[in-house]
Amino acid sequence: MEHMSIQKLEIIPVDPGADGVSCDGGGGPLGHPKVWYSFDKASSIECGYCSRLFTKDQ
């Protein structure tokens, strides 16, 4: 049987007036390269590296 791990989705609330966010995966050296995302009229953004979900606080 294969060992499968299930990661809990991390949802990070963001100020409704924010234009974008940055993500480095958290955890200092265990994270990933810092990336920047723009909301571009969206209410949430998912990091392409770590799948953190940044959502504008409603």
Answer whether residue 6 shows pLDDT above 90: no
Backbone dihedral region for residue 22 (phi beyond 0: left; psi -120 to 50: alpha; all else: beta): beta
In a domain, residue 6? The reply is no
* pLDDT tens sequence across 23-56: 999 888 889 999 999 999 999 999 999 999 999 9
For residue 21, give both structure tokens. 């966010």
In a domain, residue 3? The reply is no
Q: How many domains does the chain fold into?
A: 1
In a domain, residue 2? The reply is no
Task: Look up the CATH number of the domain holding residue 34.
Answer: 2.60.260.40
Answer whether residue 1 shows pLDDT above 80: no
In a domain, residue 16? The reply is yes
pLDDT score recorded for residue 22: 98
What is the domain range of residue 24? 11-56
Q: Work out the angle at residue 38's Cα, subtended by the Cα atoms of residues 33 and 42, and round it to the nearest 5 degrees.
A: 130
In a domain, residue 37? The reply is yes
In a domain, residue 1? The reply is no
